[in-house]
Amino acid sequence: MDIFYPFSAIATWLVEDVFRITNTTLAGSVHFFVYDTLKIFFLIIIITHIMSLLRYYLPIEKLRDFLISHKLYGLEYLLATIFGAITPFCSCSSIPLFIGFVQARIPLGITFAFLITSPLNNEVAIGLFIGLFGLHITLLYIAAGIAIGVLGGWILGKMNMEKYVAEFVWKLPEQKGNTIAKITLPKKEIARIVSKEAMDITKKIALYILAGVGIGAFIHGYVPQEFFETYLQKAGIWGVPLAVILAVPLYSNASGVIPIIQSLIAKGVPIGTGLAFMMAVVGLSLPEALILKKVLKWQLLASFFGIVTVGIIMIGYLFNGVL
């Protein structure tokens, strides 16, 4: 039983009874657009609500306080990446996050584990992935984002790069945690806050998704099956690193890129190459590098981006080889 069947029925009804589209290619594209849009928004609304609720009870400051007071023997890397996944990423928020971890004297490796995973795995990406690729690939993708974060963070932690953090960060007073007042709100009020935040996030990305799915629907209907295969056969083994390099200057919102990537994969682009491209678009962005430059010296910034690049390329090959 397909739980998305009602959306397919609505799309069919719109194409056949409302718009009365007889051209099969156009009908296919419109059906694809309506069905995918409904399905994706349905999933994103549910997932943003779950994540927003989680964040209400577990804000990032709680993770910091927990890491200050517990010794976890390596598990802290995993915990940091999981928090990175539930925290919505915005390059403008990476500075206070970074300084906050350093102020709490949390090791750099754990801080980077968080910073690496946060843009790769986020609620909107997860919603889009379930809708476009199914649950199986979504889980593999989440695992990949966490693996890059844990390993990348661990390697950066071993490199002893504390001296490459801007001096002013170390001069800030050490934070001991427990900074946010506890006020108990009525359940109804919490539900309203959570729901409002979830809907705000959904609204903010709605246009990107519509544009992404629109381009995807066009590719789906009008780009011939062999189009990419001819190019990609030339690229051969270099396809994955090439995709990653091409993606770096493209800074975009994951919500617009994922639907396009899905339609490219449907047209013969290998899945690992497609995913590596997408991860590089969201995880290796120049604006983020420029912002982090304020707190990191170039040696550390370059190591951070270098390790994430290698991680994404490896994930790309892995997906191409396994799936």
Partner 1 sequence: MATNTLNIKILGTGCQNCITLEHNARQAVTELGLDATVDKITDIETIMGYGVMSTPALVVNEEVQSAGRVSPVEEIKIMLTAKTQTKQPTDTSSGNACGCSHAC
Q: Binding mask 154-183 vs partner 1 (x if CB under 8 A, - otherwise)?
A: --------------x---xx-x-x-xxx-x
Does position 59 interact with partner 1 (CB under 8 A)? The reply is yes
Query: Do the Cβ atoms of 148 and 117 come closer than 8 Å?
Result: yes
Q: What is the DSSP letter of 268?
A: T
Distance CA 188, CA 44 (A): 22
Q: How far is the CB of 29 from partner 1 (least distance, A)?
A: 34
Cα radius of gyration (the chain): 21
Does position 207 interact with partner 1 (CB under 8 A)? The reply is no
Query: Do the Cβ atoms of 108 and 139 come closer than 8 Å?
Result: no
Closest CB to partner 1 among residues 75, 180: 180
Q: What is the DSSP letter of 177?
A: S
Closest CB to partner 1 among residues 12, 61: 61
Closest CB to partner 1 among residues 149, 274: 149
Does position 97 interact with partner 1 (CB under 8 A)? The reply is yes
Does position 286 interact with partner 1 (CB under 8 A)? The reply is no
Q: How far is the CB of 190 from partner 1 (least distance, A)?
A: 9
Does position 134 interact with partner 1 (CB under 8 A)? The reply is no
Q: How far is the CB of 207 from partner 1 (least distance, A)?
A: 15
Angstrom distances, CA of residue 16 to CA of 215, 269, 284: 22, 31, 43
Among 27, 40, 99, 165, binds partner 1 (CB under 8 A): 99
Distance CA 149, CA 185 (A): 35
Token representation of residue 218: 């066009």
Does position 290 interact with partner 1 (CB under 8 A)? The reply is no
Does position 25 interact with partner 1 (CB under 8 A)? The reply is no
Query: Do the Cβ atoms of 99 and 114 come closer than 8 Å?
Result: no
Q: How far is the CB of 95 from partner 1 (least distance, A)?
A: 7
Does position 112 interact with partner 1 (CB under 8 A)? The reply is no
Q: Which of 260, 319, 318, 315 is nearest to 284 (CA)?
A: 315
Does position 292 interact with partner 1 (CB under 8 A)? The reply is no
Going by C-beta distance under 8 Å and a sequence separation of 6 or more, which residues neighbour residue 140? 319, 323
Contacts of partner 1 in 212-231 (CB under 8 A) = none
Does position 206 interact with partner 1 (CB under 8 A)? The reply is no
Give the distance, in angstroms, between the CA of residue 181 and the centroid of all CA atoms in the same chain: 31
Closest CB to partner 1 among residues 61, 157: 61
Does position 268 interact with partner 1 (CB under 8 A)? The reply is no
Backbone angles phi and psi of 14, in degrees to 5: -65, -45
Among 39, 49, 55, 220, binds partner 1 (CB under 8 A): 55
Distance CA 43, CA 252 (A): 21
Among 70, 136, 192, 293, binds partner 1 (CB under 8 A): 192
Q: Which of 198, 308, 219 is nearest to 266 (CA)?
A: 219
Going by C-beta distance under 8 Å and a sequence separation of 6 or more, which residues neighbour residue 58? 83, 86
Q: Contact positions toward partner 1, by CB under 8 A?
A: 55-56, 59-61, 64, 87, 92-93, 95-97, 99-101, 103, 168, 172-173, 175, 177, 179-181, 183, 185, 188-189, 192-193, 196-197, 200
